[in-house]
């Protein structure tokens, strides 16, 4: 990774659903999709905005969470990797703050239902 200087401008939820149930079985796998967008920079602008939309569905035997998370980052254009799809460390630097906020929300919303639920670290494959 070329840069460690990634500025988080905003991370917000456009959707957050936390539903409890007692099926005892998990009938499906969790899913996540990530969409990156790089708006055009104005001439002379040194920073590149990175807009990310993440959709997460996370099932458990006692609850199901569905969330849409929007993030806005700023990075010096000269610090961007040539190919972001090949730079796992840069990808993780963008995604990790979003996942941490997701985990925090799940913990807060689940506290009254079952005590604070701790979801495991989420690892995404490239499928």
Q: In the prediction, which pLDDT does 60 show?
A: 77
More confident position, 121 or 76: 76
Q: Hey, what are 15's tokens?
A: 């959707």
pLDDT tops 70 at residue 55: yes
Band (pLDDT 50/70/90 cuts) for residue 23 is low
- Domain that residue 28 falls in: 6-114
Q: In the prediction, which pLDDT does 121 show?
A: 55
Number of structural domains found in the chain: 1
Mean pLDDT confidence for 27-37: 87
Q: Is residue 13 part of a domain?
A: yes
More confident position, 89 or 2: 89
- The Cα 84–Cα 91 span in angstroms is 7
- What CATH number corresponds to the domain at position 81? 3.10.420.10
Q: Which of 40, 48, 62, 52 is nearest to 106 (CA)?
A: 62
Which residues are CB-contacts of 85 (< 8 A; sequence separation ≥ 6)?
A: none
- The Cα 14–Cα 69 span in angstroms is 6
Instruction: Please list the alpha-helical segments (H only) found in 1-127.
Output: 88-114
pTM over 0.85: no
């Amino acid at each position: 990774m070329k840069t460690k200087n990634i500025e988080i401008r905003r991370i917000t939820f456009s959707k957050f659903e936390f539903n409890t149930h007692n099926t005892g079985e998990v009938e499906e796998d969790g899913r996540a999709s990530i969409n990156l967008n790089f708006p055009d920079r104005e001439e002379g602008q040194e920073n590149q905005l990175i807009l990310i939309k993440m959709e997460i569905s996370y099932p458990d035997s006692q609850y199901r969470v569905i969330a849409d998370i929007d993030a806005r980052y700023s990075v010096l254009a000269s610090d961007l990797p040539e190919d972001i799809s090949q730079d796992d460390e840069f990808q993780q630097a963008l995604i990790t703050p979003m996942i941490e906020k997701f985990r925090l929300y799940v913990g807060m919303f689940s506290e009254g239902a079952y005590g604070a639920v701790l979801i495991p670290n989420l690892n995404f494959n490239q499928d």
